[in-house]
Amino acid sequence: MTKYVGEEGENCPLVAAISVGNPYDMYKVIKHLDSQSFSLSRIYDIAILNFLKTAFKKDQKLILSAPADFDVRKISKSSTIFEFTEEMTRKAFQYKSAKDLLDDSSCDRVLENIRIPMLFLNSLDDPICLQPLIPYDKFMNNPYLILALTNHGGHIGYMGKIWPSSWIEHPVSQFFRSMIAHYATPYMKQSS
């Protein structure tokens, strides 16, 4: 969503947007996840990698029919998300390298182009979208960007006191209600 809004810039047809748990720089996030030997981040890394391998195996016949030089053995033996991305994903989408694909997938390079109000919700204890990777300077330099940080929330969990309740829908709906109130009022006056 963020990449789309940033790429569209002044031409974005949306009036507002929200991003929750944004990684901003996919290359840095994946390199961090892959570098952890034992941590909560490594658990996520293993889970994501296993999901990718399972998805590949499930659709292997279809994927291998694509005009790419896939090495099934290397894909299956990938021990990190970056290796999997290098061996499968970047080839499927015809990128020169996994880094090129991840850089192109990241939104940090287009944040300055966003021209609609956009709320970003990030948790300081997110083991995937790390606090040091949040591009604070871009938020400071673009008045359309709103960065909301919470101390707790993990990676898009935002769990309440009673599990499995989540409180993330409250700030999300509050932001959208305020945007609707702001943008609907002039529209309603014009159409009546």
pLDDT 10s digits, 53-106: 999 999 999 999 988 999 999 999 999 899 999 999 999 999 999 999 999 999
- DSSP code of 159? B
Q: 91: closest CA among 110, 70, 121?
A: 70
Quote the CA–CA distance of 59 and 53 in Å, as a whole number. 10
Quote the CA–CA distance of 44 and 42 in Å, as a whole number. 5
DSSP H helical ranges for the chain: 2-8, 26-35, 40-58, 60-64, 72-77, 81-84, 90-92, 98-105, 136-141, 169-191
Q: What is the pLDDT of residue 155?
A: 76
Q: What pTM does this model have?
A: 0.83
Q: What is the pLDDT of residue 192?
A: 47
Which residues, 6+ apart, have CB-to-CB distance to 185 below 8 Å?
none
Reply yes or no on whether the pLDDT at 191 is more than 70: no
Q: Which residues of 114-152 are buried (b: 16+ CB within 10 A; e: fewer)?
A: bbbbbbbbbbeebbbbbeebbbeebeeebebbebeebee
CB 112 within 8 A of CB 90: no
For 176, other C-beta atoms within 10 Å of its C-beta total 14
The single residue listed with the structure tokens 């970056």 is 82
CB 63 within 8 A of CB 88: yes
Give the pLDDT confidence of 126-158 residue by residue, as tens digits.
Answer: 888 889 999 999 999 999 999 999 988 877 777
- The whole-chain average pLDDT of the chain stands at 88
Q: Which of 6-10, 102-106, 122-126 has the lowest mean pLDDT?
A: 122-126
Return the amino acid letter for 12: C
Q: What is the percentage of the chain residues whose pLDDT exceeds 70?
A: 90
Q: What is the pLDDT of residue 186?
A: 55
Reply yes or no on whether the pLDDT at 15 is more than 80: yes
H or E stretch at 122: strand 118-123
Q: What is the pLDDT of residue 39?
A: 64
